[in-house]
Amino acid sequence: MFKIRTYNQLSVRGLNRFDREHYEVASELPHPDAFLLRSQGLHQEDFPATLKAIARAGAGVNNIPLERCNEQGIVVFNAPGANANAVKELVLAGMLLGSRDIYQGMQFVESLGPRDDLDAYLEKEKKRFTGTELMGKTLGVVGLGNIGSLVANLGLALGMKVVGYDPAISVEAAWRLSSDVQKMENLSSVFAHADYVSLHLPVLESTRRLVGDGILGGARNGLVLLNFARGEIVDHPAVLRALDSGKMHRYVTDFPSAETLGHPKVLHTPHIGASTGEAEDNCAVMAADQLMDFLENGNIRNSVNFPAIALPRSTPVRLTISNRNVPRVLNQITAVIAEHEINIVDMLNQSRDAVAYNIIDLAEDPGEDSLAALNGIDEVINLRLLGA
Ligand SMILES: NC(=O)C1=CN([C@@H]2O[C@H](COP(=O)(O)OP(=O)(O)OC[C@H]3O[C@@H](n4cnc5c(N)ncnc54)[C@H](O)[C@@H]3O)[C@@H](O)[C@H]2O)C=CC1
Ligand SMILES: O=C(O)C(=O)COP(=O)(O)O
């Protein structure tokens, strides 16, 4: 029986992927094999010794202490692309909120009590809410991954000119991207060319407060900045300065902060980019399927800290071993197995940065002694014996 501890609201369709004969799935579950979660912050959380994997039913993994997971051999999965369309559609709403005074106009209408001259009054006052059109303007997209590539193509469909910047664009994202998207060499060029800039990059040490005074100083006047990525990517005091000076027209963000709340030119949504039924289903189903394949077969798909690896089962006895990625560990592993006179039927070894991972199908059960010897190899982080 595998135990999955859940956090946050997860789609029932995703949770139903786990067959309850073999999986116990609940919040507050002791001795879990895996966590399944959305934005729950884990940085302050101790990990139980039983924990083997964490599946993030979403894209961003800044809520998970990856360094600690690497040290403890915990495999972290995410669900790339599963909520991308939901975010793209909210960005469209954000662009319209930034170009037309929809929100302010609605607030104005709501503030009116019943009055006989309502029509005449609205016709007189509507000049306060004149906006601009998206067509013909330039959209800059920073980060052209699963979400950014959809947003860039959307901009073209709206009749915008689109420029983009991504220093490490993946081959799949490049295939998705229209050739009409103009490539920029750096972040400053995006801001120098664009009327609207939409951020779709992860928060990393290198991207924290990336959008600050320097970048904003070189931006086009009247910039609308859209942040549906993470609040930490933007230097909020710098954004407020740009709004107050008139350099920036609107800041539209899915990440409310104490600094930006209450500013009349900031439009906040409560981190709902991925909050659609469809995205919640897609994310939870993808995360659950990846977890099950890992727990049952040791295969790894869409991990953010371990290599991608999958081997069809060739025998009922499978060993998986995580080790530090240094020379001669594989030799030691195969030597221990040979010393115990067990035949290796099939095996696969992959590495990623400081970690290596092995799937080894054996002709017979290895027994306690050989498992202890394998565990005793200095560089082995952890080991699992999977039955049929
Ligand atoms: N508002 C919400 O509810 C949601 C927010 N997000 C946020 O959006 C981010 C992006 O999501 P996806 O597109 O699915 O991720 P992704 O991994 O498919 O794409 C991210 C792209 O950013 C690029 N990148 C990295 N550093 C960069 C830099 N310094 N400048 C420009 N590009 C850079 C990467 O090369 C990659 O192509 C997530 O990391 C998450 O923080 C994601 C989903 C929902
Ligand atoms: O997928 C992401 O990175 C998100 O920000 C979505 O977060 P959520 O799953 O809605 O809490």
| Residue of 24, 89, 232, 259 with catalytic role | 259
| Residue of 271, 313, 352, 384 with catalytic role | 271
* pLDDT of 351 strictly over 80: yes
Q: Is 259 a catalytic residue?
A: yes
Do 242 and 342 belong to one domain? no
Predicted pLDDT at 7: 97
Of the residues 271, 276, 281, 283, which should be mutated to test ligand 2's pocket, given the most ligand atoms within 8 Å of the CB? Answer: 271
Domain termination site, one of 216, 239, 268: 268
Do 194 and 116 belong to one domain? yes
Ligand nearest to the Cα of 81, by number: 1
Ligand nearest to the Cα of 10, by number: 2
| Residue of 38, 56, 200, 230 with catalytic role | 230
Do 115 and 216 belong to one domain? yes
Average model confidence (pLDDT) across the chain: 97
Q: What is the Cβ-side half-sphere exposure of residue 244, based on CA atoms within 13 angstroms?
A: 9
Q: Is 20 within 8 Å of 42 (Cβ atoms)?
A: no
CB contact set of 39 (below 8 Å; sequence gap of 6+): 8, 58, 60, 63, 271
* pLDDT of 388 strictly over 80: no
Do 226 and 282 belong to one domain? no
**Rounded distance between C-alpha atoms, residue 112 and residue 121, angstroms:** 10
Q: Whose CA is nearest to atom 2 of ligand 1?
A: 273
CA of 287 to the centre of ligand 2 (A): 13
Evaluate: CB of 143 within 6 angstroms of ligand 1: yes
What pairing do the DSSP bridges indicate for beta strands 223-227 and 161-165? Answer: unpaired
CB contact set of 12 (below 8 Å; sequence gap of 6+): none
Do 281 and 248 belong to one domain? no
Do 301 and 316 belong to one domain? no
Beta strands in the chain (DSSP E): 2-6, 23-26, 34-37, 53-56, 75-77, 138-142, 161-165, 182-183, 196-199, 223-227, 248-253, 266-268, 317-324, 344-352, 355-362, 380-386
Do 16 and 103 belong to one domain? no
Do 188 and 251 belong to one domain? yes
ipTM over cut 0.95: yes
Q: Whose CA is nearest to atom 9 of ligand 2?
A: 38
Task: Kindly report the backbone phi and psi dihedral angles of residue 177, in degrees, each rounded to the nearest multiple of 5, phi listed first.
Answer: -80, 135
Which CATH number do you get for residue 5? 3.40.50.720
- pLDDT digit string, tens, across residues 13-62: 999 999 999 999 999 999 999 999 999 999 999 999 999 999 999 999 99
Residue 337's domain spans which residues? 307-388
CA of 11 to the centre of ligand 1 (A): 23
Evaluate: CB of 171 within 6 angstroms of ligand 1: no
Q: Whose CA is nearest to atom 11 of ligand 2?
A: 39
Which CATH number do you get for residue 360? 3.30.70.260
- Comparing CA positions, the residue from 39, 34, 37 lying closest to residue 69 is 34
CA of 199 to the centre of ligand 1 (A): 8
CA of 7 to the centre of ligand 2 (A): 13
- pLDDT digit string, tens, across residues 101-116: 999 999 999 999 899 9
pLDDT band per the 50, 70, 90 thresholds, residue 332 = very high
Do 366 and 316 belong to one domain? yes
Q: Whose CA is nearest to atom 5 of ligand 2?
A: 60
Q: Is 363 within 8 Å of 313 (Cβ atoms)?
A: no
Do 61 and 180 belong to one domain? no
Structure token pair of residue 154: 């959307």
Do 362 and 289 belong to one domain? no
CA of 337 to the centre of ligand 2 (A): 43
Number of H helices, E strands in the chain: 13, 16
Average pLDDT on 293-314 reads 98
- Comparing CA positions, the residue from 334, 386, 385, 382 lying closest to residue 357 is 382
- pLDDT digit string, tens, across residues 167-213: 999 999 999 999 999 999 999 999 999 999 999 999 999 999 999 99
Using DSSP, state whether 234 is helix, strand or coil.
strand
Number of domains in the chain: 3
Q: Is 271 a catalytic residue?
A: yes
Do 215 and 282 belong to one domain? no
**Rounded distance between C-alpha atoms, residue 358 and residue 348, angstroms:** 6
- pLDDT digit string, tens, across residues 144-160: 999 999 999 999 999 99
Q: Cα separations (Å) of 379 from 22, 324, 333, 374, 382?
A: 32, 5, 10, 10, 9
